[in-house]
């Protein structure tokens, strides 16, 4: 039996700020940019047990992950997993990838398997399109992945930068869910080709505008590029999700937030969660309070201020021995 008795893992939620080349017109498909978050995460503890037991939020998803991982790793599933907190499912914050990586990382440490995060992601079929969830689990901060080529197993992280500590993101939640699972796969297959000229433009904008602006702390320029990226991807996704935003209510809130001076306006992944950025925590809190009054009649909407998680290896692993 393993000498380790208890392993705790924390996996950060992420903002998926958009794909670069959805059709692979330039040779590699997808490629994306995103940010790890501090305030929303999946936290779980794996410990010794006489029989398999899973408790806490989204235990059914965790149960499926445990089965798949234990079969692939050829290890016993007689462990106890207590989920203390979990990223909300299917709202664009990366819940599935982070749950899979958290459980896989705990099992890897418990049984001393010596696997990498990439090994675990491949076993769970994560990174088939975006590599942002894997990237923020490994690195934190802002990451850009290189999409998928002919020999790609999981999308490589090309860029990792710290997000300026003062920047804040405002999240706009809707109680609905974005496309996921088979619906998401079908939506991708039904989308028309993404224009090559648009992909070329977005590549340049991210490489020569967004990334330098992060390094130099220029939120206005960074926000302009993210808004352009979101507009292009949102229009492309519109036939599958009913508009640039999956939620009309979120769309209304994003228009209002733009008028308040927020930048980097968009929807994370398939949504329905919207996001934007402002320069300071106090400004973000003020805007959120105003937004809650402005949209008090839209009971499905909620607002939250979050910050970037720049911790190297934003996921945290704590091991306790016997």
Residues 178-220 pLDDT 10s: 555 666 667 667 778 899 999 999 999 999 999 999 999 999 9
The answer to whether 83 and 106 are in contact (CB under 8 A) is no
**What is the pTM for the complete model shown?**
0.93
pLDDT (mean) for 93-113: 96
When pLDDT is cut at 50, 70 and 90, the band that residue 146 belongs to is very high
Angle 17-222-23 (CA atoms, 0-180°, nearest 5)?
40
The answer to whether 249 and 300 are in contact (CB under 8 A) is yes
Q: State the alpha helices, DSSP H only, in 36-164.
A: 59-73, 95-111, 117-123, 132-139
C-alpha to C-alpha distance for 218 and 209, rounded to whole angstroms: 10
What pLDDT score does 1 carry? 46
C-alpha to C-alpha distance for 226 and 224, rounded to whole angstroms: 6
The sign of the dihedral angle between the CA atoms of 62, 67, 72, 76 is positive
CB-based contacts of 75, cutoff 8 Å, min separation 6: 107, 111, 113
Residues 151-181 pLDDT 10s: 999 999 999 999 999 999 999 999 876 555 6
């Amino acid at each position: 039996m393993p000498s380790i008795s208890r392993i705790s893992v924390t996996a950060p939620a992420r903002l998926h700020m958009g794909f670069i080349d959805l059709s692979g017109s330039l040779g590699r498909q997808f490629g994306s940019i995103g940010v790890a978050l501090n305030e929303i995460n999946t936290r779980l503890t794996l410990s010794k047990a006489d029989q398999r037991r899973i408790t806490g939020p989204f235990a059914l998803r965790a149960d499926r992950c445990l089965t798949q991982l234990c079969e692939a790793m050829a290890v016993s599933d007689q462990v106890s997993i207590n989920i203390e907190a979990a990223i909300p499912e299917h709202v664009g914050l990366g819940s599935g990838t982070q749950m899979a990586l958290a459980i896989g990382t705990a099992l890897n440490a418990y049984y001393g398997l010596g696997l990498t995060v990439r090994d675990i992601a491949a076993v769970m079929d994560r990174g088939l399109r975006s590599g942002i969830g894997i990237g923020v689990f490994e690195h934190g901060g802002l990451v850009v992945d290189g999409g998928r080529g002919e020999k790609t197993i999981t999308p490589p992280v090309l860029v990792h930068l710290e997000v300026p500590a003062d920047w804040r993101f405002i999240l706009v939640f809707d109680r609905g869910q974005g496309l996921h699972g088979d619906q998401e796969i079908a939506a991708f297959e039904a989308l028309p080709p993404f224009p090559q000229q648009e992909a070329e433009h977005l590549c340049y904008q991210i490489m020569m505008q967004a990334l330098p602006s992060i390094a130099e702390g220029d939120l206005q320029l960074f926000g302009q590029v993210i808004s352009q990226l979101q507009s292009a991807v949102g229009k492309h996704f519109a036939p599958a999700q009913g508009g640039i935003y999956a939620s009309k209510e979120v769309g209304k809130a994003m228009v209002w937030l733009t008028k308040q001076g927020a930048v980097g306006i968009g929807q994370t992944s398939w949504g329905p969660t919207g996001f934007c950025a402002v320069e300071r925590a106090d400004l973000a809190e003020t805007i959120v309070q105003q937004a809650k009054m402005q949209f008090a009649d839209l009971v499905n909407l909620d607002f939250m201020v979050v910050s970037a998680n720049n911790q190297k290896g934003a996921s945290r692993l704590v091991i306790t021995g016997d």
